[in-house]
Amino acid sequence: MCLTLTNAAAVIDHQPSPRPAVRGDTRTWHPAAELSPGDLWRPDPDRDPHTVTEVHHLRNQNDHSPERVTVVDQYAHA
């Protein structure tokens, strides 16, 4: 799934870029299950975004607990 402003759970803010050739960054909240490789993800809201390289979905078949999602970035951090 592609992350867009339309499917965001919430739009946090828009931070213009100090460089004129760059558009800036609109920060949004999306459910982790909607992330896919190539999306930008901020594990820390005060740092630059990371690129998602893997998304793993794990659901316990024995109960009705929520799905667990593990996101891996370009630095192999989960």
Q: How far apart are CA 57 and CA 16, in angstroms?
A: 34
Q: How far apart are CA 41 and CA 62, in angstroms?
A: 31
Question: Parallel, antiparallel, or unpaired: how do β-strands 40-41 and 50-58 relate?
Answer: antiparallel
Taking only the tens place, the pLDDT of each residue in 23-69 is 667 777 777 778 889 888 877 777 888 899 998 888 777 777 777 88
Would the pTM count as exceeding 0.75? no
Residues 17/24, Cβ–Cβ less than 8 Å: yes
SS3 call for 11: strand
